[in-house]
């Protein structure tokens, strides 16, 4: 994203700080949260910086109210965000579904730690990947991003806010304990060069305004409460003005809109990184902090003459089905290292299962490499699997 | 200027409260001033309040990806526990720096070993054990040259609260001087 921009300041920054500063650069002007390890620094930095900028920071009584507060702020026109970790993310699930249903733009950051329950507060995990997709009930859409460096934490925080605004939905930004707490040298771009999506305001007479039109083009004009445009907000299935409805025809329109905002804009939403994939026979599919070990393992294997590459989703949800098919369909083996019991590898099996014939499946392999004890998967461990399948 | 690729994995270890994570952050800041790539991680948890604590700093003029130190080029150990736990992962050609006022059993190994009673020196010459981290960091940087001395001085100066700045700058100088003597004696 920031590759060709004028870089200005070289600093040492922590991952969590980069998320906070990225979000502020993207225009977040309302943060409500309940600090939790290992995400606390995000709230901490927002609490210091936002009042100075004339923006609002509220420490709420819990995560349920934090989520409710950012939805309310969003409906009033604010760019809103909260940050949490697993236990808080579970409490926010209901509110996130509400935000997606009423189409209120907002961002929820989840700095993943070991689970289930309160688990391992100070250790990394990637076990909330499926929760980011299915944590809330109903067929709710999910846009979920996951960086792998401090620089990218900054960039994807901006992107998360922009995608939320553009597609008027609740976007999840994942990180993990190691990424959140590690410090790296990053180049802070000139604020003027950062591309920020601001809400488009309606210009039509208020009586013509529909808050939930049938086939919107994104970004669509969006009124906030208090601007003279009348609309209703409810978690119940609703019509174009937002009032509850039981009609199948109106419900279908609503569900289509929720589905199509993702489906019709896949290319705009999905970002992937392909690393040494051109001539690779074996591929590693890894996200977030684990992809750092994967990249190192690729280089180690290449030194031994093994043709390995890595494919990395920066957008976890929607799952990059087409990119996976394109890059991975002819690979002999796909290794999926992750800090959980196989969430990405199951998603991978769904995609590849659809294109590999029964015959092909005998000669090809999807191999999970899983760890959920609070430690990182290191390059040597991935290299070992590479050697086994070579 | 720098044509040769280098990558140094440094682990600063001891017990919680010895300021090793602060030292790691300062070392990383110095690397940023030197305009080289750096990643700093730490053990973060209950152990940082009394038990074994560590900060990893990886410095390189090339790209690298995995953020934690695996095989150390430099290991600073300020407690026996940390020394016993981490010395096995030091490279044969690596450098071990220990506080011999605390670490009584020096491991037998190929690596170059430097021993000084850093904590004692800090207490006697600066009247406080607090700047032991900066004293030993000064020593480490002078011995290893992982970052420039000038950048380290700037980083220490920028990182300390005004009331602790003087003491820490003195500690830094003391550490550097200690290393200069060692280098001279080794005939390097």
| Distance from the A286 Cα atom to the nearest Cα atom in chain B, whole angstroms | 13
Residues whose CB is less than 8 angstroms from the CB of residue A98 and which lie 6 or more positions away in sequence, other chains included: A71, A235
Residues in chain B predicted with pLDDT less than 50, given as ranges, are: 2
Q: What is the ipTM of this complex?
A: 0.92
State the pLDDT confidence band at A363, using cuts at 50, 70 and 90.
confident
Sheet of strand A282-285, all strands in order from the earlier edge strand to the far edge: A272-275, A308-313, A282-285, A333-338, A365-370
Q: How many CA atoms lie within 13 A of B132 on its CB side?
A: 28
pLDDT value of residue A2: 45
A38, A122, A178 ranked by CB distance to B67: nearest: A178
| CA-closest candidate to residue A287, choices A137, A130, A70 | A130
Task: Decide yes or no: CATH 3.40.50.12280 for domain A7-193.
Answer: no
**Number of neighbours of residue A226 by Cβ within 10 angstroms:** 9
> According to CATH, where is 3.40.50.920 located in chain A?
273-389
Summarised one tens digit per residue, pLDDT across range A185-201 is 999 999 999 999 999 99
For the whole prediction, is pTM greater than 0.90?
yes
Average pLDDT, chain A: 95
> According to CATH, where is 3.40.50.970 located in chain A?
7-193
The answer to whether A150 touches A114, Cβ cutoff 8 Å, is no
pLDDT value of residue A108: 98
Low-confidence winner among A297-306, A357-366, B55-64, B93-102 (lowest mean pLDDT): A357-366
pLDDT value of residue B109: 87
Structural tokens at position A22: 């990225």
Structural tokens at position B130: 């607090």
Q: CB–CB of A296 and B65 under 8 A? A: yes
Domain positions in chain B: 7-185
The CATH fold of domain B7-185: Pyruvate-ferredoxin Oxidoreductase; domain 3 (3.40.920)
The answer to whether B157 touches B150, Cβ cutoff 8 Å, is no
Three-point CA angle A63, A163, A253, nearest 5°: 90
A121, A182, A379 ranked by CB distance to B41: nearest: A182
Looking at chain B, which residue has its C-alpha nearest residue A12?
B29
DSSP state for residue A356 in the 8-state scheme:
S
Helix (H) or strand (E) holding B162: helix B162-185
Average pLDDT in the A253-275 region?
97
Q: CB–CB of A181 and B42 under 8 A? A: yes
| SS3 at position B106 | coil
B71 at interface of A, judged by CB pairs closer than 8 A: no
| CA-closest candidate to residue A329, choices A273, A368, A277 | A277
Looking at chain A, which residue has its C-alpha nearest residue B55?
A182
Q: CB–CB of B44 and A185 under 8 A? A: no
Looking at chain A, which residue has its C-alpha nearest residue B26?
A12
State the pLDDT confidence band at A296, using cuts at 50, 70 and 90.
very high
pLDDT value of residue B45: 62
| SS3 at position B155 | helix
Q: CB–CB of A178 and B45 under 8 A? A: no
| SS3 at position A284 | strand
B46 at interface of A, judged by CB pairs closer than 8 A: yes
Q: With 60 as the cut, is the pLDDT of residue A3 above it? A: no
Dmax (CA) for chain A in angstroms is 69
Q: With 50 as the cut, is the pLDDT of residue A94 above it? A: yes
State the pLDDT confidence band at A216, using cuts at 50, 70 and 90.
very high
Classify residue B168 by burial, with Cβ atoms within 10 Å: 0-12, 13-18, 19+: buried
Q: How far is Cα B23 from Cα B27, in angstroms, rounded to an integer?
A: 6
Q: With 50 as the cut, is the pLDDT of residue A1 above it? A: no
pLDDT value of residue B50: 61
The CATH fold of domain A273-389: Rossmann fold (3.40.50)
pLDDT value of residue A7: 58
Average pLDDT in the A283-308 region?
98
The answer to whether A334 touches A366, Cβ cutoff 8 Å, is yes
Q: How far is Cα A166 from Cα A163, in angstroms, rounded to an integer?
A: 5
| Distance from the B110 Cα atom to the nearest Cα atom in chain A, whole angstroms | 23
| Distance from the A344 Cα atom to the nearest Cα atom in chain B, whole angstroms | 20
The answer to whether A258 touches A266, Cβ cutoff 8 Å, is no
Summarised one tens digit per residue, pLDDT across range A217-259 is 999 999 999 999 999 999 999 999 999 999 999 999 999 999 9
Residues whose CB is less than 8 angstroms from the CB of residue B8 and which lie 6 or more positions away in sequence, other chains included: B58, B59, B60, B73, B74, B144, B146
Looking at chain B, which residue has its C-alpha nearest residue A290?
B66
| CA-closest candidate to residue B47, choices B5, B24, B94, B79 | B79
B6 at interface of A, judged by CB pairs closer than 8 A: no
A118 at interface of B, judged by CB pairs closer than 8 A: no
pLDDT value of residue B59: 97
DSSP state for residue B102 in the 8-state scheme:
T
Per the rule left: phi > 0, alpha: psi between -120 and 50, beta: everything else, A71 is alpha
DSSP state for residue B17 in the 8-state scheme:
T
- Residues of chain A contacting residue B70, judged by C-beta atoms under 8 Å apart: 378-380
State the pLDDT confidence band at A357, using cuts at 50, 70 and 90.
confident
Residues whose CB is less than 8 angstroms from the CB of residue A329 and which lie 6 or more positions away in sequence, other chains included: A352, A355, A356
């Amino acid at each position: 994203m920031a590759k060709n921009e004028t870089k200005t300041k070289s600093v040492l920054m922590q991952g969590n700080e980069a998320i906070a500063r990225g979000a502020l650069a993207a225009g977040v002007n309302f943060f409500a949260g309940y600090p939790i390890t290992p995400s606390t620094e995000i709230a901490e930095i927002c609490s210091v910086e936002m009042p100075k900028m004339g923006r609002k920071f509220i420490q709420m009584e819990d995560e349920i109210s934090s989520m409710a507060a950012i939805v309310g702020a969003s409906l009033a026109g604010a760019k809103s965000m909260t940050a949490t970790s697993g236990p808080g993310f579970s409490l926010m699930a209901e509110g996130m579904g509400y935000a997606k249903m009423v189409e209120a733009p907002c961002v929820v950051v989840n700095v993943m730690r070991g689970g289930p329950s309160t688990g391992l507060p100070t250790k990394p995990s990637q076990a909330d990947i499926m929760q980011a997709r299915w944590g809330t009930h109903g067929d709710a859409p999910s846009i979920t991003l996951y960086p792998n460096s401090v620089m990218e934490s900054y960039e994807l925080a901006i992107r998360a806010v922009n995608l939320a605004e553009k597609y008027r939905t609740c976007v999840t930004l994942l990180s993990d304990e190691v990424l959140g707490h590690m410090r790296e040298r990053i180049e802070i771009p000139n604020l003027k060069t950062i591309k920020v999506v601001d809400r488009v305001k309606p210009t039509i007479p208020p009586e013509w305004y529909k808050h939930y039109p049938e086939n919107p083009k994104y970004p669509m004009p969006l009124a906030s409460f208090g601007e003279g445009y009348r609309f209703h907000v409810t978690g119940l299935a609703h019509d174009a003005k937002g009032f509850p409805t039981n009609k199948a025809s109106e419900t279908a329109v609503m569900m289509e809109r929720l589905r199509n905002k993702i489906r019709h804009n896949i290319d705009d939403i999905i970002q992937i990184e392909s690393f040494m994939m051109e001539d690779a026979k074996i591929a590693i599919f890894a996200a977030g902090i684990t992809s750092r070990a994967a990249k190192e393992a690729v280089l180690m294997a290449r030194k031994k003459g093994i043709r390995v590459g890595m494919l990395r989703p920066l957008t976890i949800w929607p799952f990059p089905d087409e990119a996976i098919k394109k890059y991975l369909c002819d690979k002999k083996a796909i290794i999926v290292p992750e800090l959980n019991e196989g969430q990405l590898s199951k998603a991978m099996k769904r995609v590849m299962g659809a294109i590999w014939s029964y015959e092909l499946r005998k000669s090809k392999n999807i191999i999970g490499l899983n760890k959920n004890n609070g430690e990182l998967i290191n390059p040597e461990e991935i290299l070992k699997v590479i050697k086994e399948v070579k | 200027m720098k044509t040769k690729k280098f990558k140094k994995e440094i682990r600063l270890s001891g017990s919680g409260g010895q300021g090793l994570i602060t030292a790691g952050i300062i070392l990383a800041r110095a690397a940023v001033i030197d305009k080289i790539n750096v990643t700093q991680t730490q053990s973060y948890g209950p152990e940082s309040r009394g038990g074994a604590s560590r900060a990893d700093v990886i410095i390189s003029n090339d790209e690298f990806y995995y953020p934690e130190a695996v095989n150390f080029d430099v290991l600073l150990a300020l407690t026996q526990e940390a020394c016993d736990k981490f010395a096995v992962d030091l490279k044969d050609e690596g450098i071990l720096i220990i506080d011999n006022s605390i670490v009584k059993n020096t491991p037998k190994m190929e690596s170059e070993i430097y021993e000084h009673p850093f904590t004692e020196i800090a207490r006697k010459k600066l009247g406080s054990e607090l700047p032991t981290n900066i004293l030993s960091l000064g020593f480490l940087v002078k011995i290893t040259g992982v970052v420039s001395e000038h950048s380290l001085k700037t980083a220490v100066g920028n990182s300390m609260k005004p009331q602790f700045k003087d003491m820490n700058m003195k500690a830094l100088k003391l550490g550097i001087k200690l290393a200069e003597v060692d280098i001279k004696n080794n005939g390097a």
